[in-house]
């Protein structure tokens, strides 16, 4: 039963990754015109944006793969810095190359998982912080359109945390079977998703 459960988890995770990679939405489609709601809209944004979902899922997966403090420091750092990216938008600080940065976050995190890269924690946190700024900036660009910016921000931070937890759970389940090859294979799929988003982002730049 335990082996069957692991197989079900592995299959489900792979199908989720493949579905998100093939999602027919461009990486540049972050700014939604018209007034947004509050908490509900903020909560839905990371869940319905495949580029955001993949990156946030990969943060949890990589943290679980690295083990130790990284299991919680990476997923905690990402939403905290992401809020900073949103604030940068509100106070008018420019951050160029957002779409490329978002696509690179998926590619880099996928490769880190595929290669089972375990750098010093501070190196991983610097990478996570930069990627979080890019994602937070994209989310923050929608705050002025929200009916309730504070509730919108709370919504997308909570959704981000849930995706991180999902990534951690999948990572912990896949780390031990067949020497961690399942987790690495999922990382490779995520990396392919990064390429999918990177090509149009570079073309549009």
User: Has residue 165 got a pLDDT over 90?
Assistant: yes
Which pTM does this prediction carry?
0.81
To the nearest 10°, report the CA torsion of 86, 68, 159, 150. -40
Q: Give the model's pLDDT for residue 24.
A: 40
Q: Are 79 and 131 in contact (CB under 8 A)?
A: no
pLDDT digits (tens, 9 = 90+) for 7-64: 434 434 443 443 333 334 333 344 444 445 678 878 888 888 899 999 999 999 999 9
Q: Are 193 and 52 in contact (CB under 8 A)?
A: no
- The terminus-to-terminus CA distance of the chain in angstroms comes to 50
pLDDT digits (tens, 9 = 90+) for 98-118: 999 999 999 999 999 999 999
Longest pairwise C-alpha distance within the chain: 55
């Amino acid at each position: 039963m335990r082996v069957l459960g692991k197989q079900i988890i592995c299959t489900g995770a792979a199908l989720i990754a493949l579905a998100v990679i093939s999602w027919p939405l461009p990486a540049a489609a972050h700014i939604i015109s018209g007034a947004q709601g509050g908490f509900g809209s903020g909560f839905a944004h990371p869940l319905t944006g495949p580029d955001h979902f993949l990156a946030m899922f990969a943060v949890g997966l990589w943290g679980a793969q690295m083990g130790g403090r990284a299991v919680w420091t990476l997923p905690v750092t990402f939403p905290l810095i992401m809020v900073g990216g949103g604030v940068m938008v509100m106070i008018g600080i420019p951050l160029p190359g957002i779409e490329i940065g978002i696509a690179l976050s998926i590619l880099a995190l996928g490769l880190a998982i595929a290669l089972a890269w375990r750098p010093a924690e501070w190196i991983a946190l610097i990478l996570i912080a930069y990627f979080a700024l890019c994602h937070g900036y994209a989310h923050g660009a929608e705050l002025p359109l929200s009916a309730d910016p504070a509730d919108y921000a709370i919504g997308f931070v909570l959704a981000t945390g849930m995706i991180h937890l999902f990534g951690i759970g999948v990572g912990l389940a896949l780390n031990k079977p067949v020497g961690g090859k399942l987790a690495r294979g999922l990382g490779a799929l995520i990396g392919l998703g990064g390429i999918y988003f990177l090509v149009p982002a570079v073309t549009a730049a």
